[in-house]
A and B are shown apart, each in its own frame.
Chain A
């Protein structure tokens, strides 16, 4: 309640201010607007008006395509950050001392501009320096910023802007406190704690269970030694087509792999390990000679076959590898 009151108050006051200065020119007009709704939502006309030369202010325009049919995930990912940046800027720069206007031009509103600029991709930032006034730049050509490094945070964009902007106030990004998140985390934490304290007697044997720990350790080890971290860091695809409609399970090349490939490899390692464990620990504890004989053959066979298959897979990855075992 209180918050909204403050908001409406600022809104009102800014409107008044805007009204007072509205006669001042393009910048003042838009700055007043930006106080109520930032960043500004532009269309072809307002874009042209804002960026028309001579101008005594800077304009930062985000050219984006938010509609779902364009499938611009990056645009949508960035939009909250951009809105946050616009609001912080508007709040931090009430009197327009920085002489910077922030605007969004969605493809839906400004097809003409996109065509004029011959843009194929979005989102793109254009920063128009002032062409008249104290900090004027003679050519007035916009500086372009592409999102090559993925989605950026509002702080990063401010950092980039302030490198090119003339001196003046540069309001920092103010992130609103995420109350929901704080509450969720606290509740969850408390819940978990209370659950633990209640269930402690039941959990303790589980925690102290050696088999459980052994299982966890083995799974972790298998995960890591089969290259899971590589998948995680390099963000490799899970599988890829082989160009003939089928699926290629194994990526070509020694330092290349697919997500599924590592799972197959982990499974092979696991099978081999399990066969080893069975042969070493289980089989000698069997009391029936017949069954023991059978178990030895089964596990031995599994191990042999699997290792042979593993070698054959490795030969796919490393062309010149000379060794192999019979079946594969």
Chain B
């Protein structure tokens, strides 16, 4: 067999990434060491800022549209976003784009470190084109915060509504002076029994502000407690193997999940009677009942097993438009309960592998993350992706 070259710049044979690593004792490798007394230079100001906090899912998703202006005399290209030290480990998927031109690739952004004990840590965003003095640019910053939602009360009865509690600052934490800002919070229901800081309530949306001239680093704490009777699915670990078999023309994917429901625990114990009774009309529940995995069209031979063998409660619907794998865990997953399992499937390699034009290599194109698609969202603490190349590939 002739040696294969896989031309895939970012794919090494073992490729580990951390979407969000809450464990700060193992710092991310991309940290840049900055001097201890680092403070972002006051070279920008936020002319106008609109922040959306989306609480519809099991994690927090924030989108910030900000117009930044260079107030320095020189061209500037480094924009810092501060986070609290205890929170930065839970921030994931931070992406900064040009609002005017969202088609462009995202700007380079990375965590920088200068003092592991400092209460504030930064993300550094590097603008591809330095901003001229007094020039303005609109950034679309988006990120999600994991493990920030806590059920309150922490234990509920099996059929009770579940309420989540979220504490945040009504001012966006910024390293720069902000001229004008507004924070919007979006819930999935209008049932929000507890909140502070007097927002403007409009149905499912709360609006804080507008606030004028907030200086850098100022915070105003606010909290909301809102209904969200749905599981808070959290994968403490996802191991994802993609194995290429040139021989059989097969692309085998296997995913191993360690799921837990971070929602409210059961205050009593699980009652099968109540559970069976409510199965008929399917009310919202804090328990995870089923996972749906939309697979790539053309996937075959799915399997769903766990440590003790095949789980017989899965369904695979496949046609030319879609291939959905519906998985039912062995038992409903209530708050605090865990479930680990393994799913895998095959696909014809042809759809994913393309020969290079110059003829001495292949390009593999696979999704980084597939995973269950749930309306309540799913958060991953750690994802471990391995691409296993055929024997002899270089």
A and B touch in the complex (CB under 8 A): no
A residues neighboring B (CB under 8 Å)? none
B residues neighboring A (CB under 8 Å)? none
